[in-house]
């Protein structure tokens, strides 16, 4: 055998060893993945649980957040809804009549207590075509 043949034989043996090592690592990773998947599906909720104490701690955290949420809802129920709504001293019929007679958006908001968007909508629906330039 020549030196070149010996060198290529050693190189071939080293490559086979590296491939065998990579195959062994791949087999171990596959076995670990299968074990984790089996633990996942064997658990009662379909989720791999680490311990019962972790579950209890999680439940207590959820209950604390839920009770905090309920207290927040209780606080919101005491808000007076009549204060949040704008007072409507003039009925909508009067606002419609004003829009038909050429009132501006500012006139409707000031006189009828409408919001700017409500007044613009009223002008688009009930205003005459000559007042379309007053919307801006």
Task: Give the model's pLDDT for residue 80.
Answer: 52
Domain boundaries, the chain: 1-39, 88-135
Tell me if residue 13 falls in helix, strand or coil: helix
Task: Give the model's pLDDT for residue 22.
Answer: 93
1-38 pLDDT tens trace? 687 788 888 889 999 999 999 999 999 999 999 998 88
Q: Which secondary-structure segment (H or E) carries 108?
A: helix 105-112
- Is this prediction's pTM over 0.85? no
CB 91 within 8 A of CB 121: no
């Amino acid at each position: 055998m020549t030196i070149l043949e010996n060198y290529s034989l050693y190189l071939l043996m080293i490559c086979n060893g590296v491939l065998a090592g990579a195959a062994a690592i791949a087999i171990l990773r596959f076995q670990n993945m299968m074990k984790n998947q089996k633990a996942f599906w064997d658990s009662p909720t379909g989720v791999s649980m680490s311990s019962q104490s972790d579950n209890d701690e999680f439940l207590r955290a959820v209950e604390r957040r839920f009770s905090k949420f309920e207290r927040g809802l209780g606080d919101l129920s005491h808000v007076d809804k009549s204060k949040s709504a704008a007072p409507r001293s003039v009925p909508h019929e009067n606002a419609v009549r004003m829009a038909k007679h050429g009132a501006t958006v500012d006139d409707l908001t000031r006189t009828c207590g409408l919001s700017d968007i409500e007044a613009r909508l009223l002008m688009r629906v009930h205003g005459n075509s000559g007042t379309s330039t007053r919307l801006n």
